[in-house]
Structure 1
Amino acid sequence: MKKIIIKNTDLEIALINFGGNVFGWTLDEKQSFSILDAFHNKGFNFIDTADTYSWWVNGKGGQSETIIGNWMKQRGNRNEMVIATKVGSQTKEHGFDISKKHILKSVDESLQRLQTDHIDLYYTHFDDDTTPVEETMEAYAEIVKAGKVRYIAASNVSPERLRESFDVAEKNGFPKYVALQPHYNLVERQKFESDYEPLVKEFNLSVFPYWALAAGFLTGKYRTEADFSKSVRGEGVRKYMDDKGLAVLKALDEVSAKHNSQPATVALAWLLAHPSITAPIVSATSQNQLQTLFDAPELQLDAEDLQLLDTSSL
């Protein structure tokens, strides 16, 4: 199993980042344990979650972290895992919030649910666009110094506020973000490539794109309007069912047939072939879906494959 080091850290990860939003939502604890066992047994070790997953079930969240914490405790494998979680997202109980008060409270709650004494990678999930950047970065400095968090990262933060975060950290000697978690995949390219990739290069960030399979659209299971009812995410992919989306699916079909693979595997391999991408975040709810994830780091796309996929997704 090939592993790499997250830039500016000592965290070693395999090339697929499992998205824990399904835990406590489409998977109960027993099912989650089965998926986690299979993921770990194949040599993968990087799990992404958030303090608010799955708030849409109970209005509060915390289910995903709780399940992951219970699994690590039962398996005794905390030291083998790299755990990323997040702070700042909106729930029915509170709005977006990256104030110092909220961060200090939330990190302790996440540690309790995860049943661990430290979080490897702690993200600003959503910027509230209100809290001064200095306050947020000071809060992170405090929890890193206390040993509660190893490294910090950013997700839904504007390019302007992201740059300001680096300026503030540099000026004050605070920890700096080591990674970015953007929305990026074959049908969502422009924002990352135009607004964020230059910052990724400038600040030497590792990149873990979320919705790597566009909420399932890039698996190829949605081909007609009738397919939207196939899953709870179905309606969320309707926006991709246009000429561009269909062209991407056609290209994925062609490349996957050439390699005797699956569209989802090819879509992930395309991300992994991108020099700025470190490990895509992707979920699975069955053993068959897991296999498409496992196959992605092993699939080497050639120049012809990449050109076809690039052209279809412009």
Structure 2
Amino acid sequence: MTRIGNSDLDVFPLSLGGNVFGWTADRDTSFDVLDAFVAGGGDFIDTADGYSAWVPGNSGGESETIIGEWLASRKPQGVTVATKVSTHPEFRGLAAANIRKAAEASLARLGVDAIDLYYAHFDDESVPLEETVGAFGQLVTDGLVRNVAVSNYSADRIREWIEIAQRTGAALPVAVQPHYNLVHRNDVENEIIPVAEEFGLGLVPYYSLASGFLTGKYRSTETAGQSSPRAEGAAKYATPAGLKIIDALEEIGSAHGASIAATSLAWLRAQPTVAAPIASARTVEQVPDLLAGARLELSADEVQTLDRVSEWTPAQA
């Protein structure tokens, strides 16, 4: 178990991503994935109110609805649910009134009394940050939210959020959710991790497996014949430098009897301030690798080997 920042949230050190629920995983498959995750010791689920509005026929909130129905059906004990605001088609942005309405809608879909961890999904510079910080703080004061967090915020805006919260007495953020993995390192390590270390924030990175590239499935930039909607996003990393990372992951993983995906997640968990990487599973068969990635402990030498081989970042080249 791992503590998220300065919060009282003590969670399994991997978060199950809910972005696929209602998208590439239907309701029944999503239930099976959630069942397998919890049966294997998982207890931390990540979603957002906008998942999955991009799918034809969807209107947003599908992932939260599926998770809520699963929670009502299974009544699991000790499960932590994180969700986010700003991208639902009916609740875009971070104006105070919108945040309140979006939170109430998320609570209804999830069927919970309070949201354990509530993120500002994307920065909204059209709204004064003081208004947004105050709105999140009020949700905590009123008991609708237990902990607040930010996602996709720059280091400067995180600092500004914290300064406002300290000055006004609003709830301080406990976590930050950045795009971070072995092929997308520089911005987070140079900018976000120092802020997290300074203020005691826990990192809960998304795209932990680089849209599937860090599973080792994609060894070519050609995506012909790939059925996954994420194939193109993953295949772009299959450059000579990217494939060196896969080779190193495979060699290190083999020494532990672990998969490439599990080894990649273990590297991410070993980074400063990282509490629990987010990874999703479209099928039950993908769940064991995620659970293994939460338990695999790499040696310092193995972490350093992966650090060296991934110093060049394909995503930013």
| TM-score, normalised by the number of residues in structure 2 | 0.94
Aligned-partner residue type, residue 186 of structure 1:
L
- Measure the CA separation in 1 of the matches of 2:227 and 2:242: 18
Kept in 2: contact 1:16–1:44 (CA 8 A): yes
Matched residue, 1:195: 191
- Measure the CA separation in 1 of the matches of 2:125 and 2:93: 9
- Measure the CA separation in 1 of the matches of 2:157 and 2:281: 33
SS at match of 1:15: coil
SS at match of 1:137: helix
In structure 1, runs of 5+ residues without a counterpart are none
Aligned-partner residue type, residue 209 of structure 2:
L
Kept in 2: contact 1:221–1:227 (CA 8 A): no
- Between the aligned residues of both structures, percent identity stands at 45
Of the three residues 97, 104, 110, the one matched with 1:108 is 104
Alpha-carbon spacing, 1:205–1:37, altered in 2? closer, same or farther (3 Å):
same
Matched residue, 1:247: 244
Kept in 2: contact 1:156–1:182 (CA 8 A): yes
Matched residue, 2:5: 7
SS at match of 1:122: strand
- Measure the CA separation in 2 of the matches of 1:211 and 1:5: 21
Matched residue, 1:83: 81
Matched residue, 2:314: none
Structure that is richer in helix per residue:
1
Moved over 6 A (4+): none
In structure 2, runs of 5+ residues without a counterpart are 312-317
SS at match of 2:16: strand
Matched residue, 2:73: 74
Of the three residues 293, 299, 302, the one matched with 1:302 is 299
Matched residue, 2:136: 140
CA shift at 1:247, angstroms?
1.5
Matches of residues 156-171 of structure 1 in structure 2 within 5 Å?
156-171=152-167
Higher relative contact order (CA 8 A, sep 6+): 2
Matched residue, 2:25: 27
Matched residue, 2:53: 55
Aligned-partner residue type, residue 293 of structure 1:
L
- Measure the CA separation in 1 of the matches of 2:304 and 2:5: 28
Aligned-partner residue type, residue 272 of structure 1:
R
Matched residue, 2:308: 311
Of the three residues 256, 277, 287, the one matched with 1:259 is 256
Matched residue, 1:276: 273
Aligned-partner residue type, residue 190 of structure 1:
N
Matched residue, 1:45: 43
Matched residue, 2:64: 65
Q: Deviations over 1:61-91 (max 9, x none)?
A: 10000000000001122x5210100001264
Kept in 2: contact 1:18–1:281 (CA 8 A): yes
Deviates more, 1:265-274 or 1:248-257: 248-257
SS at match of 1:150: coil
| TM-score, normalised by the number of residues in structure 1 | 0.94
Q: Alignment RMSD, CA only?
A: 1.5
CA shift at 1:111, angstroms?
0.4
